[in-house]
Structure 1
């Protein structure tokens, strides 16, 4: 399938062959290449990652692929927003190429390989969504090998995902520098997310308090409060906002995501939350101290 240069103001590759041909041409010109993997429904958080890779590369590829293998059967795969034309409009002038493969292109008949990490995948999201990171690791490995970029950027909002990808790249000796992009927030502090569009007006108002509770809980812990005491109080406060369920509110070592054995945060620590309001599950995190 030839490179599509007519549908949008930015060219689109639909096949791995066309992606690689474009990258090969850039390499012949001595250009550095960056990749931003996304599932589309782009917002300023995604676009900030494009800007980030442009500080380290001459050309920026944005992949748009709603990856079925990271969704459990009961999750929102079919409902996940698909807005390719709007995404392309946002990327015009900021990115250089969209890679938008079909599921059959990514997972052709007979595909049978998955990547499973231990350790960093097991707590938090690993407890709530046990098959999730296998799908993430597999698709990200494929994208990195398909594009062979010099750098790739992932948002810090998905903190555990970022650590999983860094672990995988290190373990498999994939020669790509992984960059973490800062969380972009709405005016009230809600972390930008493609899933925010699911929120009703009342839910959206309540969701704006999630980051406040996260920050105040982190501040208590940084001042010496016991992690269990502070997070238990934080969970009660999140429920009082109107959230239906809190999957977790925990403090972990930032890179390994191991828990703190003595009940207090030391060194490089991160507080992470996942909570559901209505049909929308929100995640957020920030440093402690």
Structure 2
């Protein structure tokens, strides 16, 4: 592609990269910032509803785009899904809290998603209009590089999972569970001791976390770690994918590795940058290739 504006395009490209990693919103709110006021303390956490029924979690990565797991939207129509931000609990809308809903207009799942293994388990939900960012509704930072390593770091998953395996309803209040990231080799060995058997191989583009697995209905929820250069802010390293049961000890849960799939995510972000309210897109003079 011919470069017709090398200086300006370089500047615009740097702004696009900043948007991809969520450095700063157009309201001056830094990505990955916890809401210290309590309401919507994890402001990037999204509750997803299908025909009015909660079915999984997600994260706000730009004002008009939600990152989630492909397996929870499989077979669902975009028109039947709404994304809710600012959720204090699953009854927030009925209790008058400051929640906001957006209609999903398009779903893009990774073309190499493998439902059996959970490989490449991620999807992007495009919203009908962007959220206005504020203290209790904000974006999460994304990893800067596909080569980032997270093993040994202490992170957390946040969402509305089941309390125990037999339950068929999620907990009304969200749970934040602190989890260490587990080395791939150790995770694979631990999972081989389960019913998966001694020949089990970790699927593509995953990471493991915790000394016990997560319960269902956490699917799509963000796994996030503090930024190494700014411990008071956070980046999303994983998406809750699957586990062996619910709360099983010495069995890590498996998450989609967001960093390894950043090259797949980034081109799709440009599709939402022209939404009113995001000032970055208006400065792009040519599409990213």
What TM-score results when the alignment is normalised by the length of structure 1? Answer: 0.29
The structure carrying a bigger helix percent of its residues is: 1
The structure carrying a bigger strand percent of its residues is: 2
What TM-score results when the alignment is normalised by the length of structure 2? Answer: 0.29
Greater RCO structure (CA 8 Å; 6+ sep): 2
